[in-house]
Amino acid sequence: MAVYEYRGISATSGKAVQGLRDAENVKALRSLLRRDGVLLTTAAEEQEAKEKKKKQLSLQRLFEQPSVADVAIMTRQLSVLVRAKIPLFESLSALIDQVEKEGLRRALTNIRDQVREGISFADSLKDHPKIFSDMYVNMVRAGEASGTLETVLERLTSFIDSQAKLKGKVVSALAYPVLMMIIAVVLVSVLMVAVVPKVTSIFESMDRALPWYTSLLIAVSGFAASYWWLILLLLSGGIWAFRRWKRTPEGKLAWDTIVLNLPVVGPLVQMIAISRFSRTLATLLSAGVALLQAMGIVQTVLGNAALEKVVAEAATSIREGQSIAEPLKASGRFPPMVTHMIAIGEKSGQLEEMLENVAEAYDSVVDNRVQMLTSLLEPIIIVVMGGAVAFIAMSILFPLIQMSDFVD
């Protein structure tokens, strides 16, 4: 049986539709689609379709990939349809007509076809890990098992929205300082490579010693102008070597440990990870996912190998009969307030509520810290950039002033 990528027209809405479908041949594919109310226009085997896709611009393919916001909107719409007692197969069919991103539409088409064949919704989602995370799949599995899929989908929507908002705040707050740093580096590089060598060439005819800062500027500028290719090569090679080292388990653990120990950035990274840990674990437990399974999923969303190691060790301790709070407290990576609230939640049977409270508190703290950090970064970058330009100007102007005094 071959996999076909097809395009057609919906007999009910008249809209163009496309997707993937298993069929013996094109004739069988046409019959299957007609049963679904789709009139086939074109069909190609998946391998042929892939060859055609390779010829398309990579930028176009990038825009076809669904974002976190697209998944959140789709999940909310699916939750509304399921709560209205519409069968899952029909709900997925309705979503396919509404989804705009091609990647998400293809995934939903494949999921719908698998659901029709009797495969569970969670197992169908598992075939698309780039769109639906392990947490998403396991929560849906728990919802299907308990008969509360619509409630689980609502919690998933809230969780995705909250994580997207937190990420958006951090990215938007750091965008301006990063842009200023890039502009500063480009500006100083252009001055050193293109402007300074031409201006300082007049000093070559001077029969007098130059100030040390002018000599330093000329030496650095000359090296940059002559060996800019070597600088770029070393910089690119260093970045490549660092990224390759960071991909290894030892390198990632070492680097993430260094990041956690940095004076300003470390506490911020730790707070973001703890917020993710608390909210994700609360969401999973509320959906009925088993604790040990939930801890395994939470471990994959922290974004820091050092904290992932702590959670993995905590899961091992829990398996041996300990509480959640004890191993987290022993690691020293989780603040006392967090472990204390978790311990209270375990004793009172309100662990999910306590974890939600921790997440809300840390989201607020992260927001304030990011705003404070960006408010400090902006003047620091301006001062550094102004200092670099001032040093270049001073190194050029002072010898010129001295030369004019000598001529007088």
At 406 the pLDDT is 52
At 132 the pLDDT is 87
**Interval 235-287: pLDDT, tens:** 999 999 999 999 898 999 999 999 999 888 888 889 888 988 888 888 888 87
Please indicate, yes or no, whether residues 32 and 113 belong to a single structural domain of this protein: no
User: Residues 52, 55, 57, 62: what is their CA dihedral angle, to the nearest 10 degrees?
Assistant: 50
Please indicate, yes or no, whether residues 154 and 172 belong to a single structural domain of this protein: no
CA of residue 86 relative to chain centroid, distance? 33
Instruction: Identify whether 256 is part of a domain.
Output: yes
Residue 59 — pLDDT band, cuts 50, 70, 90? very low
Q: What crossing angle do the helices spanning 134-146 and 291-298 adopt, rounded to 10°?
A: 160
At 233 the pLDDT is 93
Please indicate, yes or no, whether residues 200 and 142 belong to a single structural domain of this protein: no
Helix (H) or strand (E) holding 45: strand 38-45
Of the three residues 160, 191, 225, the one that is the final residue of a domain is: 160
Residue 234 — pLDDT band, cuts 50, 70, 90? very high
How big is the CA angle at 19 (ends 18 and 25), to the nearest 5 degrees? 105
Residue 321 — pLDDT band, cuts 50, 70, 90? confident
Please indicate, yes or no, whether residues 187 and 294 belong to a single structural domain of this protein: yes
Q: Do 193 and 391 contact (CB within 8 A), yes or no? A: no
- In the numeric block, the tokens 């190998």 are attached to 305
**Interval 341-381: pLDDT, tens:** 999 988 888 888 899 898 888 888 888 888 888 778 778 88
Tell me the CA end-to-end span of the chain in Å, nearest whole number.
94
Q: How many CB atoms lie within 10 A of CB 17?
A: 22
Enumerate the β-bridge partners of residue 40: 8
Per-residue pLDDT, averaged over 315-339, amounts to 88
Per-residue pLDDT, averaged over 32-58, amounts to 67
117: tokens are 């064949």
pLDDT of 63 higher than 60: no
HSE toward the beta carbon, residue 62, CA cutoff 13 A: 3
Q: What is the DSSP letter of 135?
A: H
Please indicate, yes or no, whether residues 153 and 206 belong to a single structural domain of this protein: no
Q: How many domains does the chain have?
A: 3
| CA nearest to 138, candidates 298, 275, 277, 276 | 298
Output 318 or 202, whichever has higher pLDDT: 318
Question: Tell me, what CATH number does 99's domain have?
Answer: 1.20.81.30
Q: How far is CA 291 from CA 296, 305, 325, 329, in A?
A: 9, 21, 13, 18
| Domain housing 28 | 2-55
Instruction: Identify whether 401 is part of a domain.
Output: yes
Q: How far is CA 194 from CA 197, 225, 379, 397, in A?
A: 6, 7, 27, 17
| CA nearest to 136, candidates 110, 118, 157 | 157
Please indicate, yes or no, whether residues 187 and 284 belong to a single structural domain of this protein: yes
At 206 the pLDDT is 65
In angstroms, the CA 35 to CA 29 distance is 10
Question: What's the pTM value of the predicted model, to 2 decimals?
Answer: 0.66
At 241 the pLDDT is 94
**Interval 92-150: pLDDT, tens:** 888 888 887 888 888 888 898 888 888 889 889 888 888 888 878 888 888 887 777 88
60: tokens are 């176009």
Residue 148 three-state SS: coil
Q: Do 275 and 359 contact (CB within 8 A), yes or no? A: yes
Of the three residues 96, 129, 160, the one that is the final residue of a domain is: 160
Output 228 or 91, whichever has higher pLDDT: 91
Per-residue pLDDT, averaged over 67-85, amounts to 86
Residue 322 — pLDDT band, cuts 50, 70, 90? confident
Q: Do 269 and 304 contact (CB within 8 A), yes or no? A: yes
**Interval 176-227: pLDDT, tens:** 778 888 888 888 888 788 777 777 777 766 666 777 888 888 888 888 878 8
In angstroms, the CA 351 to CA 337 distance is 14
In angstroms, the CA 309 to CA 249 distance is 11
Per-residue pLDDT, averaged over 10-21, amounts to 78
Cβ-Cβ contacts under 8 Å for 214 (sequence gap 6 or more)? 200, 203, 395, 396, 398, 399
At 150 the pLDDT is 84
